[in-house]
Amino acid sequence: MNHVMEDIEDEELGRIVVQVNPRAKRYVFKTKSDNISVSVPPGTTRKEVLDALEQLRPKLLAHRTLLPKRRPIDLAFTIDTEHFHLSLKQGTTHRFLARSELGKMEIICPPDANFGDEQLQAWMRKVIDESLRRNAKVILLQRLTELSHQSGLRYSSLKINASHGRWGSCSTRKAINLSFYLLLLPQPLIDYVLLHELCHTVEMNHSERFWALLNQHTGGRALELREKLKAYHTSY
C-alpha cells in the first residue's frame, strides 16, 4: 500500500501529492486538473522530490496549461450536494461576508467584486475549504463511527485533511485519514470510501481477502462502487 508524504505547495505548479510506492523503481509524475501526483521509490527524501520537480518544471508546466482549468468562483458558482450547499449572492457593502452553518454556506459579495482576480479566487477557495473541513469533522466522524459499529471494524483515530490525491488512507496503527472533499460525493460513495478504509484496519493491502471483506460490507458492490468513484475528483 502506498505511503503519502506531506503535500508540497508550489507557486507555479500548485499542489504536489507525493506517494511512496514500495514497487516503484523510478519517479512517475501524473498531471491532473487540481494537482500533480508523483510516485516515488521507498527511501526517497523530500529534497530529492523537490530537485526532481525543478528538473521537470518546464515539462510539468506545459502539461498543466493543456488541462482544463477549474471553473471560476463567481455569482453563478454553486455546490449542491447532500451534505454541503454553497451559494454566492451580491450584497450592498464593499466587504465580503461568509455565513456558514452545518451543511450550508453563503458568501455575500460586494457589487464591484472582481472575480477574475487570482488572489480573490484563492481566498474564496480557502474560505470554502475551511467550511468543508469544519463540516467534515462532524459529518464524516459521525458516519465513520456508525459504520465502524455496524461492521465491527475498529479504528484508532480520524484526521480530516485537504488531500487532492486520495479520498482516504489507513495506517498500520488503524489511524484513518479522510479528505474533506468526500462531502461532495453521493452518500453511497462516501460509505464506500469509509468502509474501504475500515477494511484496511484488518487487511493492509488490496488482496483478494481485502476485496472479499469489502464486498461483505457493501452488499457485493465493492467493484461497482469503485468504478463509480472514478467519475469524481477531489476538487470542485
Residue 74 lies in a domain: no
Q: How many CA atoms lie within 13 A of 230 on its CB side?
A: 5
Residue 73 lies in a domain: no
114 and 140 in a single domain? The answer is no
Residues 99-151 have pLDDT tens digits of 989 999 999 999 999 999 888 988 999 899 999 999 999 999 999 999 999 99
Average pLDDT of the chain, as a whole number? 89
Q: Using the CB atoms, write b or e for 155-192: b if 16+ within 10 Å.
A: beebebbbbbbbbbbbbeebebbbbbbbbbbeeebbbb
179 and 212 in a single domain? The answer is yes
Provide the pLDDT for residue 1.
46
The CATH number linked to 213 is 3.30.2010.10
Round to whole Å and give the CA distance between 63 and 38.
14
Residue 33 lies in a domain: yes
Residue 25 lies in a domain: yes
Percent of the chain with pLDDT over 90: 58
156 and 202 in a single domain? The answer is yes
223 and 141 in a single domain? The answer is yes
200 and 184 in a single domain? The answer is yes
H helix intervals, the chain: 46-66, 118-151, 187-199, 208-217, 222-229
Residue 72 lies in a domain: no
124 and 140 in a single domain? The answer is no
45 and 111 in a single domain? The answer is no
Residues 217-226 have pLDDT tens digits of 999 999 999 9
Round to whole Å and give the CA distance between 161 and 191.
17
Domain count, the chain: 3
178-197 mean pLDDT: 96
Q: Which domain holds residue 86?
A: 79-128
140 and 189 in a single domain? The answer is yes
17 and 92 in a single domain? The answer is no
Q: CB–CB of 200/222 below 8 Å? A: no
189 and 150 in a single domain? The answer is yes
